[in-house]
Structure 1
Amino acid sequence: MKKIEAMIRPEKFDQISNTLIENGHNAITVTEIHGRGEQRGIALQFRGKEVMVNLIPKVKIELVIEDTDVEEVIGLIKEAAHTGMPGDGKIFVYDVERSVSIRE
């Protein structure tokens, strides 16, 4: 099994979530996070002054899936999250050694 973590733009969350659900990937964990990538923040205008924002709001989506679904899920996330602008996000893939259900 693999764990996929995707750091994405908040405004793309609904589109990504709907795409995953439509393709049978229902179980996700979502966390609101702040961070920065290579662009090192963004400049915003506030009351006529330029203000640097070093940590940009993002959403982290986590899924644990079968090894055979990794490339499909990466493709779905990339397609739904893509704007072509800096800050589209990153996807990380990790090995999952074991999963235990608490309910059982």
Structure 2
Amino acid sequence: MKMVVAYVRHEAFEPIRMELLNLGFPSLTISEVKGSGRQKGITERYRGAELTNYLRPKVKIECVVADGDAQTIVDTVLKHGRTGAVGDGKVFVLPVEQAFRVRTGESGEEILQAHPDAAASASP
């Protein structure tokens, strides 16, 4: 099993989410985060003072999938997240040793099954 963790721009999130849903991967964890990287800070004037903010807002997407599905998730994030400008984000793929479904106590990759009917049950 693999965990794909992606940090992307806010405007890239919805196209990524929709394609993953259509591919049968509706289970995502989303967090709004801030971080700094190679992009420069944004200088704003507020009440006569100049303020520079070096922390840029991003969306963190986490998804645990079977080993064979990790590249599909990565490709989707890269396809929709890339603008070619500094600050597009990062994608990490991490190994997951074990996973358990809390409701039933099941473990292993059977709890990660892709949902081929997920797109049909999703309402736009």
Q: Normalising by the residue count of structure 1, what TM-score does the alignment of the two structures yield? A: 0.90
Structure with the bigger RCO (C-alpha within 8 Å, sep 6+) is 1
Unaligned runs of 5+ in 1: none
RMSD: 1.6
| Counterpart check, 1:42 vs 2:41 | yes
**Gaps in structure 2 of 5+ consecutive residues:** 105-124
Who is 1:58 aligned against? 58
Equivalent pairs counted in the alignment come to 103
* Matched residue type, 2:63: L
Once the two structures are superposed, the pairs formed by residues 1-104 of structure 1 within 5 Å of their partners are: 1-39=1-39, 41-46=40-45, 51-104=51-104
In 2 relative to 1, CA 60–49 (structure 1 residues): closer, same or farther, beyond 3 Å?
same
1:24-72 Cα offsets, whole Å, 9 max, x none, are 1110000010001122x42244368764211111110000001001111
Going from structure 1 to structure 2, the CA distance change for 1:46 and 1:82 (only over 3 Å counts) comes to same
Larger radius of gyration: 2
Point out the structure with the larger strand share.
1
Corresponding residue SS for 2:32:
strand
